[in-house]
Structure 1
Amino acid sequence: MSAACVSGCRLAAAWRVVAIVSLLLAPGTARPETDMAVWRLSGASGAMALDPMRSYAVLASEATVARPEWRRVVEILRAKYEADVVLYPAGHPEQALPGLRRLFPNYACFVEPPETCGRGFVLTLHRLTRRLDDDPYGDLLWGILTGYAADDAARIAALREPLIIRRGATSMGPDLLQRLDVGFATNENAPSDFWQKPAGTAGVAHRAVAPDAARALAQAFREIPVDVFYTSGHATERDWQIAYNLPGGAVTHERGALCAVSADKTRYPFESPNPKVYLPVGNCLIGHIDTHDCMATAWLHSGGVVQMIGYTAVTFYGYMGWGTGLLFEDGRLTLSEAFFLNNQSLLHQLARRFPHALQAQPGTEDYRSVDAFRQRHAVRARDELGLLWDRDAVAFYGDPAWAARYPVEDSAADVVLTRQGERWTLTATVRRDGVWEDPKWGGRPLAVLLPFRLRDIANVTCVPAGEALVTDRFALLPVAGRRKAGDHYTLTFTAW
């Protein structure tokens, strides 16, 4: 087979490598040919809103593709999505920007071994993926594909079947189990609590465990193939404490293997190999891959995790963690869509309330201390501090185009996009009575991912009136307060 050469690394000529050749512009813009069209954006198919085929970039350093086991991961994704490959010098993913601008893909997956995936890498990717055009918002859905071993990343890359969330586990009590078919739960505030919901039952059974839930948790993970796991409370790169500020056991790791450890030091190793997503929404540092062997890589290796969000720093404000979980649980969005849109909602908050903060570029060392961060960036208001801290500090691990979602019948609103000529209308219809608000931050806009990129957006109006936003990738509707089933929100605009 003929080959191309990049910095001494031989690559199959079938790869379209942006670092070597100029490519046909493939910006993901798919304006319909007809003058009238309708898109229902809350369908139950489990498909992504954006088509990844031929609008997917696989990015890796030249050093990474020089290693055969990691080059294999790149090749799996390339073949899966008919993707383009963008290479950059080791340690400098920002140099992929020209290639990304030429492609403007719907998705970008950064394939790297764990030793290169630290906090600085995550900060850089957030900022890189906002620079494809001149607005301050994200331009594509992205993820980091890594693992304790390259085989972990290859396994994740090969997945095709979407995941519908029906079985789950949480550290925050039994409420989540009410909406699931099967699951189990611990209680951060009471180490002896353990709940389980068996298949075919409507109720949740509680039992007391001693000295804490470590053994029960490990056994449940071995026996019950859950689709989602939520945690909060104290965590580091080395462990997650099952109870919050109480002696209640922990989950730790060693050489890529997970182990629950009770307060009396008894160890309960476990594996949970079925595909699942992990949302440590309230945990500090568990998303920080500071070494090859850490909590994140252990979950990817022996915990069956194929997508995961996680803070690479401490968390005190929580917009990116809890907010991503909130959007995901609605059912309209996949996990990667929820992560992307929650970050855009955060950026919109900064743009409206603290526009000067959009230009701040905190470095990895700034995240070692909240007080130092505040002083270095002259932050005064708590919301400004929290939003800026969270903006770039949360990682998304996994293939961003692989779909994991809750059953869509749980969605709070039906969303329809229509087009007539250059006039577009986005309508959201509330499905049930209730209060539309974030329990921690009050009102939060309804975030909608558009099924293709738009251009030349203008003449935006919203009924009822509010601070709406339309970009080439997404729209935010100002839904807040008490709403009734059948209430409508309508956003109109012109675009090409």
Structure 2
Amino acid sequence: MRKRFDLFGCILLLSVFLFSVPASAKKDVKGGKSEYVVLVSKAVQDDAAWNKVVEALQTLHDALVIPFDKLPGEVLEPLKKAHPRYVAVVEKPENITPEYIRKMHRVSREAGSGIFEAFLWGMITGYDAESALRVVEDARTPMVIRTALSTAQEMEYTSCFDKCGVISQDVQRDMFKGIREAFKNADPVLIEQLKQLNEVIKEKSETNQPVSDSLTNLVKEINAKIQANSAKTKIKTMTAWEEKTREQDTLTRHEIEVDSILFKFLDLYKQLDPEFLLTSSYGVDYTTLHRGVDEVVRAKEGKLFLDFKQGPEYFPRGENRRVYLATGYYGGATFGKADNQVTAWMKDGNVSALAGYCKRQWHEQAGWGTWKLWIFNPGRYTFAEAVFMNMQFILSRLNDWNPKFQDVDYPETDDVNRDWESNVAEVTKAIGADMVTLDQMGYLYDRDAFVYYGDPKWDARLQASPEDLHYKVTTERKGNKYVLTIQTDSRFDRRQISGNYYKEKTTMFNSTTLGRLPFSYFFPERLNNPKLAKKLAFEGVVEVNENFIFIHDCFFEPNQTYEVVLSVKK
């Protein structure tokens, strides 16, 4: 009887164990491959509130959950085995640092077999578990972006937006306004006397007659009387903002005093309830909206407010979900604490996806390169795909310059300018080159400095305007062949594919440049070991990966059809 009882008890305990496995652990018991993986630290998984975020992701994507102790790199082998196309890393904000992001980038590359990242990945975090969960819930349904607000003048292309506003960073002071006002309000008698005296002087000059000192002094005396009150005239510092209120419109420019520009930003924010935000001066603790004013956007206890001298002005929450590209110069996309700009925008600003630098920006390829690729392919890429594809472009360029860049990290520094010479010397030695260029150093820096926050599988994309789409791409699987067909129409311009030279020219203040884009396409499905099966019938260099294809140096023409045939394994 004793043995029978023990056997029954074991079966009972085993049954209880199997049926009491937490939801977030069920799929990781199965193992094997999974299109979507959730990486989560054990500390986060043990927190009941945060574990709801993990469970929501698992339910939404039928995801495999892989727990780690401190850093995702600890589970590289299980990650390789799972071979996901999408990876979400659920983490509390106080644990997210630039080093954490750098190591996650390396994990994404080491999980594959080539030079590219093996999967699209995003950080899932928030001011608290509730706001992190909202980010996941927002990703359940697609979003087409039709409204935008930008504090960056680089937002030159707006045809895909129905409505948008752009805050200019120009600052102008009209130094001659006081003089003009003085002459406008002066005694007409003095103005007439001055006019007659100037005519006399002009006549003498034209006939080579000497102009007496008494005549010159009289002109100075009258001028002084007229301009006596000019110093009292307030010289206004001006800037501008631009808007368009209908899809077919272009931006209309309006001048405004700098002192009023932040109120105009808030006004536009309330009116537009923008689905897309673009800023270029962004930090952990604050965001500068205009270089001409001291007031900034701050975060406190998960709330966003403009820090005016007369008191804080809190942001309206609005109704729309938002996507935020924070190109930034202050490294605001990692924090080491819960209360910061990113988490506040997520909790209080309805931001469901954000991409930005995790340390101070000095090159622009990761940030503005993402914008360039996204805006010149409207509707083709989700926001996460645009971040991913631009990062692969960075890796491609680095490998093209020197394959040894794959094994080199940008030297640790908290001041790029101060350490520039030593950093260049260190990288040059590491890759065995005679010289490393400014752009090469910039690409290497940006490779591990940019991070996407949000669900990497969320379908959030720009509205595709007919004015922007003059080529289409179709794919067809034929046995062990995968055929990609590109058809251009009569209005096609190859500059559309390459980025229209956007930020490719150096300026007096910026000698870094963005790369010229290749033709790119993110496959609707992951391909098994794709390779070029047939020589191209057109000019171009193919670079293919299981997730995407680049065609470099191609020169497509209007009203043409181009075909790329790949061999794939089933």
Relative to the length of structure 2, the TM-score reads 0.74
State whether residues 498 and 519 of structure 2, in contact with CA within 8 Å, keep that contact through their aligned partners in structure 1.
no
Deviation at 1:427, TM superposition (A): 2.4
Give SS of 2:110's match.
coil
Pairing partner for 1:343 from 385, 388, 391: 391
1:113 to 92, 96, 116: 92
Map 1:1-400 to 2 at 5 A: 2=16, 12=22, 15-16=25-26, 18=28, 21=29, 23=31, 25-26=32-33, 55-89=35-69, 91-159=70-138, 160-173=140-153, 175-190=156-171, 192-198=239-245, 202=249, 204-210=251-257, 211-232=259-280, 234-244=281-291, 246-247=292-293, 249-261=295-307, 267-273=312-318, 274-329=320-375, 330-331=377-378, 332-362=380-410, 365-366=412-413, 368-369=415-416, 371=420, 373-378=423-428, 380-400=436-456
Q: What secondary structure, in the 3-state scheme, does the structure 2 residue paired with 1:78 have? A: helix
- What CA distance in whole angstroms lies between the structure 2 residues aligned with 1:369 and 1:468? 35
The amino acid across from 2:446 in the alignment is: D
* Stretches of 4+ aligned residues off by more than 6 angstroms: none
Q: Give the match's secondary structure for 1:130.
A: helix
Q: Could you say which residue in structure 2 is the equivalent of 1:445?
A: 518
Do the aligned residues in 2 keep the contact of 1:2 with 1:12 (CA within 8 Å)? no
The 8 Å contact of residues 88 and 123 in structure 2, kept in 1 or not, is answered as: yes
> Equivalents in 1 of 2:561, 2:399: separation in Å?
26
Deviation digits for residues 63-104 of structure 1 (CA, Å, limit 9, x no counterpart): 011111110100111111111111001x22101212212211
Q: Please say if residues 178 and 204 of structure 1, whose CA atoms lie closer than 8 Å, have aligned partners that are also in contact.
A: no
Q: Give, in angstroms, the shift of residue 471 of structure 1.
A: 1.2
**Deviation at 1:414?**
1.1
Partner of 1:385: helix, strand, or coil? helix
Task: Decide which structure has greater helix share.
Answer: 2
1:438-489 deviations in Å (ceiling 9; x for gaps): 32235311221112222343345334233220111111012556x5433444
Counterpart Cα distance in 2 of 1:115 and 1:430 = 49
Alignment of 1:388-427 (within 5 A): 388-409=444-465, 410-411=468-469, 413-427=471-485
- Say if 1:484 and 1:259 are closer, same or farther in 2 by CA, change over 3 A: farther
Per-residue CA shift, 1:284-341, capped at 9, x if unaligned?
Answer: 3122223221211111111111001001122222111111112222220000111111
Instruction: Tell me the distance in 2 between the aligned counterparts of 1:3 and 1:333.
Output: 44
What are structure 2's unaligned runs of at least 5 residues?
1-14, 172-237, 429-434, 505-513
Q: Which amino acid aligns with 1:181?
A: D
- Cα shift at 1:22: 5.3
* Distance in structure 2 (CA, Å) of the matches to 1:475 and 1:326: 18
Rounded to whole Å, the distance in 2 between the matches of 1:468 and 1:229 is: 34
- Measured in 2, the distance between the counterparts of 1:323 and 1:302 equals 28
Q: Secondary structure at the match of 1:405?
A: strand
2:109 match: secondary structure: coil
TM-score, scaled relative to structure 1: 0.84
1:127-157 deviations in Å (ceiling 9; x for gaps): 1112223211111111000011111110111
Name the SS for the 2:113 alignment partner: coil
Please give the alpha-carbon distance, in whole angstroms, between the structure 1 residues aligned to 2:114 and 2:75: 19
Secondary structure of the residue aligned to 2:399 is helix
Contact residue 160 and residue 462 of structure 2 kept, 8 A: no
Q: Given the superposition, is the C-alpha separation of residues 63 and 408 from structure 1 closer, same or farther in structure 2, using an over 3 Å criterion?
A: same
Paired residues, number: 456
Structure 1 residues 429-468: aligned runs within 5 Å: 429-431=487-489, 432-434=491-493, 435=495, 436-438=497-499, 439=502, 440=504, 441-459=514-532, 461-468=535-542
* CA distance, structure 1, for counterparts of residue 265 and residue 53 of structure 2: 32
The answer (yes or no) to whether the contact 1:164–1:406 under 8 Å persists in 2 is: yes
Code of the residue aligned with 2:264 in structure 1: it is: A
More relative contact order, 1 or 2 (CA 8 Å, 6+ apart): 1
Amino acid at match of 1:474: F
Decide whether the 8 Å contact of 1:444 with 1:480 is kept in 2. no
What secondary structure does 1:401 align onto?
coil
* Cα 1:281/1:413, change in 2 over 3 Å: farther
**Cα distance per residue 1:163-214 (max 9 Å; x no partner):** 1011111113474555422222211224632234346884655444441411
For residues 87 and 17 of structure 1, do their structure 2 counterparts lie closer, same or farther at Cα, with a shift above 3 Å needed?
Answer: farther
Is the 2:160–2:464 Cα contact (8 Å) retained in structure 1?
Answer: no
Cα distance in 1 for partners of 2:548, 2:250 equals: 39
CA distance in structure 2 between the partners assigned to 1:462 and 1:200 by the alignment: 39
For 1:489 and 1:153, how far apart are their aligned partners in 2? 44
Structure 1 residues 165 and 314: CA distance shift in structure 2, 3 A:
same
**Residue pair 2:539, 2:553 contacting (<8 A) in 1 also:** no
Distance 1:394 1:3, change over 3 A: farther
Relative distance call for 1:422 and 1:328 in structure 2 (3 A) is: same
CA 1:459–1:485 in structure 2 vs 1: closer, same or farther (change >3 Å)? closer
Matched residues in 2 for 1:247 and 1:133: separation?
47
Partner AA of 1:83 in structure 2: A
> Is the alpha carbon distance of 1:260 and 1:353 closer, same or farther for their aligned partners in structure 2, counting shifts above 3 Å?
same
Query: RMSD of aligned C-alpha atoms?
Result: 2.7
- Label 1:82 to 1:490 Cα distance change in 2 as closer, same or farther (>3 A): same
In 2: Cα distance, 1:14 partner to 1:398 partner: 19
Distance 2:415 2:539 in 1: 41
State the match for 1:52 in structure 2. Answer: none
After superposition, what is the alpha-carbon deviation per residue over 1:411-453, rounded to whole angstroms, capped at 9, x for unaligned? Answer: 4531122333323322223354332433223531122111222
Offset from partner CA, 1:253-281 (integer Å, 9 cap, x none): 2222212245x665422133421100123
